[in-house]
Structure formats: C-alpha cells, structure tokens
Structure 1
C-alpha cells in the first residue's frame, strides 16, 4: 500500500488529506496556528495518521504542501529589513509606481507602502539598452562601496532590478555575484531571475516581494523538510505554486513569490480533476473558506492563467490598489467573504460584510475564543444552517450564547432582531460573491450563465445554491471531502513550472534563431527544475505561449499555442490564434494594425498523477436523522437534516434540506433538489 499526504494551510483552518493507492482518503481540519504554522501542520498530520492507523514511515508517496506563509509575511509586514539596488537615478521606482490611479476622483487615494524604503534603495552606475546592449558595466569600485553601504544599512535581504535587464541580465548577475561574496548572510535575488519581463515598476515590485519573502520562506521550508525527515517521512516535500503545479522545496524557496496563491490554485485544479471525471468542459469553481472566497473559470477542463496579480491591496476588490506581482498564476477572483468575515454597520447605517476577518484567533464569536464581532459563521449558526454540537463532527463545540450576543448587538444597531440581522448577512455575502463572479467572467469575455457551480471549502456548500441562483447556473456540484478539496487538489496536480521572458518584436519580423534561443533557455530551466522534483526529462511536456498585442497598445493578450512554433515557424498560425483570442475578448479585430509579440511563455509539465477513486459502497437510501428549525429562508422552518455518508447513490433529496458531514454542511433551499451521483457528488438543481 502506498500513501501520499497533502497539507493546505489557510487563513483559518489547516486541511490535511491522506490518500492510499486504492483511492481511500482520510481527512482532518485543525485551526491554523499563525504564531508557528508548522505547529498546526504537524498537529493535523498526527491526527489524520492516528485516525488511519498509519505510521509516518509508511508515507512513501509524495508529501505536498500549500501554504499562506508568504501571504502572511506580506500582509503583516513582519519580514526582515530588505534593500533594493537599482540603476542610478531610479531610486524612487517603488514610490512613483506606474502613475496609475485606480480611482481617478479620490483625492485621498491610498496605496500600500513599498516593502523597501527609499533609505534602503541604492543606486549604482550601469546601463543596459533596450536591445540588450551593455552600454555601461558597473565598476568594481562602485560595487565595493555598494556592498559596504548595504552592510551598514542592516539589510538581510536584497533585490536587484536594473533597467532593461529582461533583455540582458549581465549587469544584474555581475552585481549579484559580487555582493554574494561580500554579504554571504544576505538573501539575494535579481529581477531577471524572478520576472524577466518588460515594465520596470512591475518587475521591481515582483523582485522586491520575492526578496522580502526569502528570509521567511527558505528557513520555513528547511524546517519543514528537516521535521519531516526526523518524523520518518521518506520523501522531501513538494510545494504548490500559484500557477497550478508543484516543485521541489529548494526551487520554491528561491522563488517564494510563486507560492502566494498556492492554496486557491490547488482548489481550482481539483475542480479541473472533477471536470474530467464528470465529463464537463466548462464550469465555475467556488471556494469559500474561513477567511476569503475565490472563484475560477474552468474552460475546456483547464483553469485560466494570468501573468499579473496583486497582493496587499488597500481595497480588497480594487485593481491597482496593491503591489503588482508579474508571475504566472491561476486567474482567480477573490469574491465576497469567508466564514470569518466580520459584519458591521457603516457610517451610513448600512449593514456591510468584510473585508476584515476574525481569522482563527479569536475567530467568530461562536468559537468561544474571545471574539465579539458577528461574522458569516455566526450568522449561519443563528439561522440554523450549522449545528453548534456537530461542528467538526463534535470535536469543536460552538458557543451559541456568544454567537447570539454578537448578532443581538449588531441587530440593535440596525433596529433588527438577531435572526433578521443574520439573514441580512447571509443575503449580502451571497449577492456580493455572485456580483464579483459576474464581473470576473464578463471581463474575460466568458458567458457565465448556465455554467455549473463547483462548490467546496468549509463554507462553500452552505452558500453555493444562493450564489448559483443569482448566476443562473444550471447546477451546483459538491464533491466528496469538499471542505478539504484544496489539499486534495495538490495530490492531483502535476509537477509544473511556468516561465516567461520578454523579447519585444513584431510578429512579421520574427528572428527564428533568436526565438529558438529564448524558448530553448526557458525549456532548459524548466527541465532542470522538474528534475529536482524527481521528474524525468522524457516525461516532461513543453507548452509554448506568448503575450501579444497590436502595435501601439499597452496591454497584451496571452495565448498558449496549439503546437510549438519552433517546429512549423508559421507566422500566419500565430497571427490567427491571437486574432481569435482578441476577437473573443473585444468582439473586433483592427486588421490593418501590425501585431507584436511582447513576452514568450513556456510551461514545463510532468505527467498527471494517476488517481483511482474508491468505489462507493451500495447502501439503502438514507432517511433524515432529525429535523431542526432553520431561519435562512423563512422563520422557524422545520428542515430535515441528513448525514451525507448515509445517502445512497442515485438518492434524491428535495429542499429545503440540510446535508451534514464532519467538515462542512450543504444547504439545499426550497425549490432545489439534489441527487447523489456515482462519484458521491451532491448534484443540486433548481426546479
């Protein structure tokens, strides 16, 4: 018997999944320990191994990890002093940003403070031209002085970002090597290694984020690897990346900026896995956890990928209000709120939900850890959607009195009773999530109407039918073990690395010898990284894409080509694929305008892990285990409560109904019905 282990650390809960080679799963959830993430990690691992009766030494398959360690470091700003070295005269690059105002008419517009202050930003005389020509190399004397200045500053991490280094990284590499010799206790990265792309500010921001996270992520991953070895685990961990793949801990430690969205990315890939099993080409994944909710569009059973996202936004849903990061990532929209999102009354006396979250400490009022603010989870409890005595299977009892008190205080401020306030929270958060999902799909030229909603996360199945109703979805699918599906997603994820490099040129003037060199270098880098993860070169698939635009435009459209363009060298085929993608987004093509290629993209991907699901036992149709009053749809409605494990394949349940399992609860509103399919999924439809 072979066992594999996955651990996903979220903002509120840490999820653990143990899978055996026959497809059997053992799962657990434990509260995330933010003071030391590994404490919660191994508490959960010990619990799930104990339940399965398996020793650590028996885990001879992969150990995969998705973590919020980088996200926490950026939001909490508890990292070590970080410095930035730039071309002389450009010390203000992080403060000037790109001069884009995300709200044109806000005179008090806010941006996050740069991770590196101006006092820790150093300039050096050097210059690389736009075509990659080195016009001025940094002198040894200037480098020596720079090293002394950085040492005196007390910086423990360092990013290097020179003008046009994406075209030629020679000067960056020269300075990095010299500083590494002089400052051997400082973590150093260059922008050409992290994000070799055009646009100076975004590249500097990405390199700075990476450098800031290195002193946190590298020791964390080393502690994790060492602890796993001491505990008797056979293999070193693989780390989930934002782009939807896993790599070795060493590669991830050098590029922590690639780990920021690792947990949500794993959830999207789990949705793709089920899309394959269910034979569904298009769906929308909906992951609502304890801190946030996220959605992802799945097209042709593959998630959409973006080359730019933001962290530490001043306004959670305002694009441009955060720190830009230009690394490949699964294209997710953060929507609405999670179970811990706090409800409050704004200055106009209106009920609002989020974006502030109670997290795991103190958590919602019902956790009994001192939290006094009403949250989405508190509202769900007051409405009767969850059972105070059956939370986490009874392992974590909820404090109903504290919950009622929090909702009563909120209701008093609104002139409502506790149930009315809770119902308001439920409706507001549902509408907010549906609205954000609509906008996300429309911005990408995707018609969301009729898409099945694939719901998971601790709170996702509770709210999914309400969101689906507003999105005109045909169905809601709740998979087995839905509460820990992001952790499960890391086990069905291939070893993968996405690489990019800018090389601006018109498509009708492509230098194919240069194309061969650029793509070949990226391919070699990908093969080396996957080799570290134990993937043989013969098993690696290489995909090639590009960011393209019409000449004169500022933004690009990303294309993954149907075949490697180096083989056919067919410019017409590249043009046709770009024009088709552009027409999908904008509905028109300015055919008289030449096309230019801005950035090459290479995906190095290993084989998909083989996964056989465990056959469901044939059982008789389950009856309700009890009834309880639920106030979500009308006051005091008596609703049957089912145990999910007792439901038979093919059994149909008519709403209103509640379906409970240890880690989550599915709410079926009036007018909806649900059937249990052959995979054990709850498939809910309206009407």
Structure 2
C-alpha cells in the first residue's frame, strides 16, 4: 500500500494529512515555534500509527511552512549584506518615495532587512539596454569580501543596476564572493528576480538571501529526519504560486515559499468549486492566526507577481517589503481563532490583528493565556465541544474562556456571552468588509458567489459571513479543518520563469522572442522534470504589456506556440481585450509595448467533474443538543448536534445545528439547511 503525506505549519497549528488509496487521515497539533520540525515529526509518527501505515510505504511528502514568512516578519534571518551599483545603496530605504498613510504624521516605514552600514556600492554600470558603461571593479568586490568575512556576514545579496539586461557583472561578483566566502549564502538578482524595477528586485533578492541559510538548514534537517523515520519518498515544497517544487529549488529560492500555506487552501477551493459546478466563488480560509480570502472566477484563481511581507501597518498596502514572486492573489486579515479582542479608545470592540498564537494561545486552552480571543468567544457561545477540539488532543476550558471575556463584559454592561457575541459579530464584519474591498479593487462583486470554507475556524463563521456578503450557499469540504494540507496533495509540480525584454509592437522581433521563450522553457523544465519524470507538462505564457508612456503593465495571456513574424497585430488584440476587461475601454491609436515575459510549466492536474445531485434523505437523530447563542439574532437556541461521520451523502438537516468533526465544527444557523453532497461535502443553503 502506498501513501502520501502533507504537512502545513501555521502560526498556531501544524496540520498533517495522510492519504492512502482508500482513506484519508488527518491530525492537528499545536505548532512548536522554537523548533517547528518537532511538531512535524510528532504529527507524522502519530498519523502513521493511527492509520497503521508503515513509514516505508510513504511515497511522497509535500510541505508548506510559514518559516520563511516568520523569519522576515520577526527579523530572525541571517546577518545579510548587500552589494549594489555604486551610488545606489540607499534605494531600498528610499523605496517608492511616497507615503502609504497620507495623513499620519507619525508614519513609520519598514526598516530594510540590511542596515546601511552593510550595504556596499561597487564601481560598475550597465545601461538600460544592456550596454556596459563601466566595467566591474573586481578589486573592490574582493575588498568588500574581506570586510564581510571580518564582520561575520552569513548571507550576501548582489543586485546591480539593470542586471536583468546584462548578467555578467553580477555573476562575476558572485563567483568572487564564493571564492572568498565559501560558507556564505549568495543570492544574485539575475537568478532570483531577473526583471525590471530596481527597488522591488533588490528587496526580493535581499529577502531571499536573508532567509536562505535558515531555510536551507531547516529543509536539510527535515529531509534527514524523515529518512531516519524510514520515509524514502521525496520531500517537495509548496510555493506561493500554488505549485510544488523540489527541496533543491526551495533551498536556492526560499523566498518563493512565502505564503505557501494559503496557496494550498486556494488549490483545494478550486477542486471543490469544480466538484460543485461553481463558476464564481470566494475561498475562505480561517485558521488560528489570520483569515485569508481569494476570488475564483470560471475555475481560475487570481494570480499576481508581487506580494508584501512584514508590513509596518499590517493590512495597509505599501507599508511592507515587496517581493516579486508568482503568488495567488488573496487578502489577509488578522482575524483568526487566536486574534485578541479588546476595546478601543471609544469603547468599541476591536479584534486583532495581534494573535495569542500557539503559546500561550487563547485562554480556553488552559496554557496561561488570559486575553480574550475569537476562540474564547466561540467557546463561550457554545459553538465548540470542549472535549472534541483538535480531535480531543486539546481540551477546552469554557470557564477560562468566559473569565477572559469578563473585562469586556463589564465595560459593555453585559455578561460574558454577550461580550462573546460582540466579538464574533465584529470579527465576521471585519472579514466581510475586507472581502468587499478586495472584490471591488478587482472590479468584481461578492454577491451570488459560493463561499468555500476551510481552516479550523472558518466553518464556525462561514454562514454568518455568507449572509453579510449576499451569498446563498456555503460549501465545507471534507477535512476542512486541515484544508490547506489537503490542497498540497492536489497541487501540480510547477515552476515559473520571468524575463524582462522591452519590445514595442511596432518594432516586433519574433526571432528574439522565440529564442527567449526557448531558453525560459529549458530553465523551467530543468526544475520540474526531475520531480515529475515522464509526466505530461502544461505550459502557460504571459506578457506584461502597457500603452507606451504608462507606468505599469497588465498581464496578457499568450498562445503556447512560436511567434510568427506578423504576430504583432494579434498581440495588440489580446492586449486590448484584456485592457477592456480591466478598465472598461481600450485607447485607440496609442502605441503598445511589452516589458516582461513569463513562462510556467506544470504537471497536468485535471480538475474533477461535477458531482451528481442526490435524492434527499433525513439525517439520523442528533447525538445531543447544546444551547448556542446566535450573535445575529441575540437568541439562545437549542442546537442539534450531529457527528459528521454519521451523515451520509444525500442526508439533510435544518438549523439550528452543529456538525461536529475532529478538525472543526460547522455552525448551521436558524434559516439555513445543510445537506451532504455525493463526495461528502457539507453544502449550506440560506433558505430564510
């Protein structure tokens, strides 16, 4: 019997999933922030024992981790230096030269990962067209290397001006540094981010260098530990793009692992949407630390090439460090189960963005936490079974949850349950507001979509969130509490390559472009093929184009074929069609140009076909009842408790009810009906 493992390390919980040919098993443990691999190995041992599967039968391990993200946020990466073109060492501090909070006179920008005294200018200069204006001063590079050795530098980022058009200077500087500093990690921008825009390229390369030693050490140790456990199957890593890659690639480019967990959840949501024939959906992932939402249209995920980490103002765009990597576009809110509730200066409830994390965790965990959190509110409202949380591995203490809420209750002149209802309502409205803004920013709407809810806390809040967003249907997949880990096992092995080559369509050069894409294809295939020998590979191409004179580009899909000499008119048609979709109109008679080109290849992962509707049948009698306070109505309702494992496909029930399973609980409020579809997913429908 063969089996596949998936491991997702989050800010609060570490989720482990094991799939065999006939069954799936999952386990949820508290993350061990001091040594993340400890929870991973404990979870792997426990799940193999539970499933009675030998370690030698595991043929694949897919891993997503927040380690790179946390290192950037907590500033716990390597001691890093930057080598850049002489005169440009302050570009990372100048950033975009604008204010992300226009009227905040105390606004603080994020500090660069490399302090000014570790940023070194090297005499060299390349023009925007790739012409060498000043040769690289190799003696200066060696002199800096000697100083870096004396200052015990652990990683170096090299980012010269316009190196995306001429790599030779960066590569030579990298070779000299490797000679002089053999034990130091070196990241070159021409490898990490070979595209236009100096600040973003430099920031991305620095971030890669900053986390590289820690991630390389962690991945190497985890690989060895898994082999010691008897697991011979390869270890693959989830990337922010929604694809998985080899350990070797992850070691070289760990910045691509940022936000890998949410990407797995988005892949799961795509599968669920296909199974339910849903064309328009919102993927809703609410875990212990944050909530993430992303839009799905026509079974396609929204994608981007830029992301921000370590924001000084956690949810304000422009306040973080930009990294130019392929990512699934989502909005993240500090609204997880561990998000802390308090009153602001005006006496209003505020939830997050700070979290109690896994240590000490919410007050109801009984591990020393005292501040009220969303999980404490859910416990006080009666939504959670204290004996079933995290599969019974983590008992909850309702009395401690209510005690933590008491200070809020006194200030609000209510009881602990009233305060809990306020916390739940505020966190739901915070998520709804973020979803509305995200949709509007993308020219879309949330109404009449289907909400796909996963993550340990999402099914508790999904029905209320759906009503706030004008949605009539919610789908809770099987194993929702560990949804991202399930998504890892459905992700393709993939890799994306990017190059900047400025081309005006009135000066179109088909030969140059065809050679460029051939080189990009070879580079991408060299990464993917070792992990997917013999598998069919799917190629996707995009051009980032604009009207000449504009400052930014839009992504335009391209055909996967060689360009003919007369391809320029077709490229213009594709650009204008995309431009009209985004902005509502095209602009006639303006010249069009392309700056950046991307090519990704991935193993074929066809989406499942829609499942058939089943005849409805009655659910079995509930295993019990529990009083639950509904924050929307303020009523205490006697909710029926159903075990999810007892609900078979076709069965249905009406709210108020709680559907309980090891990883989460699905709240079915009054006015909602729940049914189990042909693949065991819970489908909630608003019938009020």
Instruction: State the secondary structure of the residue aligned to 1:28.
Output: strand
Render the CA deviation track for 1:21-67: whole Å, top value 9, x for unaligned. 23x101111111100010000111111111101111111x2210001
Aligned mates of 1:294, 1:94 — CA distance in 2: 29
Aligned to 1:273: 271
Please say if residues 29 and 390 of structure 2, whose CA atoms lie closer than 8 Å, have aligned partners that are also in contact.
no
Displacement of 1:369 in angstroms is 0.8
Instruction: State the alpha-carbon separation in 1 of the partners of residues 610 and 67 from structure 2.
Output: 31
CA distance in 1, matches of 2:366, 2:563: 61
The answer to whether the 8 Å contact 1:7/1:487 transfers is yes
Residues 544 and 445 from structure 1, CA distance in 2 versus in 1: closer, same or farther, beyond 3 angstroms?
same
2:157 aligned partner: 159
Q: What are the equivalent positions in structure 2 for 1:517-536 lying under 5 Å apart?
A: 517-536=515-534
Deviation at 1:620, TM superposition (A): 7.6
Distance 1:567 1:660, change over 3 A: farther
Tell me which of 390, 393, 401 is aligned to 1:392.
390
Say if 1:492 and 1:609, in contact at 8 Å, map to a contact too: no
Match of 2:541 in 1: 544
Question: Which of 599, 615, 627 is residue 602 of structure 1 equivalent to?
Answer: 599
| 1:495–1:535 contact (8 Å) kept in structure 2 | no
Q: CA deviation at 1:619?
A: 10
Q: Deviations over 1:423-477 (max 9, x none)?
A: 1111111111111111111111223221101000000111111111111113100
CA-CA distance at 1:674 after TM superposition:
1.2
Q: 1:335 to 1:591 in 2, by over 3 A?
A: farther
Which residue among 216, 235, 241 is the counterpart of 2:214? 216
TM-score, normalising length: structure 1: 0.96
Partner residue in 1 for 2:337: 339
Tell me if structure 2 keeps the 8 A contact 1:384–1:632.
no
Task: Quote the Cα distance in structure 1 between the aligned partners of 2:448 and 2:258.
Answer: 31
Taking the aligned partners of 1:277 and 1:579, their CA distance within structure 2 comes to 33
Equivalent positions of 1:401-416 (< 5 A) are 401-416=399-414
In structure 1, how many angstroms separate the alpha carbons of the residues matched to 2:308 and 2:222? 27
1:316-370 Cα deviation digits (max 9, x unpaired): 2210000001111011111351000000111222210000001100110101111
Q: Which residue of 2 aligns with 1:47?
A: 46
Contact conserved, 1:491 with 1:609, CA < 8 A, in 2? no
Write the deviation string for residues 234-256 of structure 1: whole angstroms up to 9, x where unpaired: 12200000001001001011101
State whether residues 494 and 609 of structure 1, in contact with CA within 8 Å, keep that contact through their aligned partners in structure 2. Answer: no
For the Cα contact (< 8 Å) 1:228–1:236, is it kept in 2?
A: no
Distance in 2 (CA, whole Å) between partners of 1:566 and 1:324 is: 33
Q: Secondary structure at the match of 2:640?
A: strand
1:544/1:564 contact within 8 Å kept: no
Give me the whole-angstrom Cα distance separating, in 1, the residues matched to 2:611 and 2:394: 28
Q: Secondary structure at the match of 1:600?
A: strand
Cα distance in 1, alignment partners of residues 451 and 546 from structure 2: 32
Contact 1:341 1:355 in 2 (8 A): yes
Q: Does the Cα contact within 8 Å between 1:65 and 1:239 map onto a contact in 2?
A: yes
Q: Which residue of 2 aligns with 1:676?
A: 676
- Partner SS for 2:445: coil
- The residue correspondences of 1:207-606 to structure 2 (distance < 5 A) are 207-536=205-534, 539-564=536-561, 566=563, 570-606=567-603
Aligned to 1:99: 97
Distance 1:530 1:234 in 2: 20
Is the 8 Å Cα contact of residues 334 and 354 (structure 2) preserved in structure 1? Answer: no
Does the 8 Å contact 1:15/1:484 carry over to 2? yes
Q: Distance in 1 between matches of 2:218 and 2:490?
A: 24
Q: Which piece of structure 1 moves more, 359-368 or 437-446?
A: 437-446
Structure 1 segments of 4+ aligned residues over 4 angstroms from their partners: 609-616
* Superposed displacement of residue 279, structure 1: 2.4
Q: Which runs of 5+ in 2 are unaligned?
A: none
| Farther-moved stretch of structure 1 (98-107 vs 527-536) | 527-536
SS at match of 1:233: coil
Deviation digits for residues 149-168 of structure 1 (CA, Å, limit 9, x no counterpart): 22122210010011001111
SS at match of 2:627: strand
**TM-superposed deviation, 1:568:** 7.9
Instruction: Check 1:140–1:317 CA distance in 2 against 1; reply closer, same or farther (3 A cut).
Output: closer
Q: Distance in 2 between matches of 1:12 and 1:403?
A: 18
Q: SS of the counterpart of 1:19?
A: strand
Q: Does 1:655 align with 2:652?
A: no
Find the aligned partners of 1:535 and 1:225 in 2 and give their Cα distance: 21
Task: Give the secondary structure class of the aligned counterpart of 2:563.
Answer: helix
Q: Distance in 2 between matches of 1:596 and 1:610?
A: 35
Q: Distance in 1 between matches of 2:577 and 2:380?
A: 50
Assess if the C-alpha contact under 8 Å between 1:535 and 1:606 holds in 2: no
Q: Distance in 2 between matches of 1:614 and 1:221?
A: 39
2-side partners of 1:162 and 1:102: how far apart?
A: 27
What is the CA-CA distance between 1:539 and the residue it aligns to? 2.2
Instruction: Give me the TM-score of the superposition, normalised by structure 2.
Output: 0.96
1:72-103 CA distance string (max 9 Å, x none)? 11111112210000100111111111112111
In 2, the alpha carbon distance for the partners of 1:35 and 1:140 equals 41
CA distance in 2, matches of 1:191, 1:176: 10
Q: How far 1:409 sits from its partner (Å)?
A: 1.6
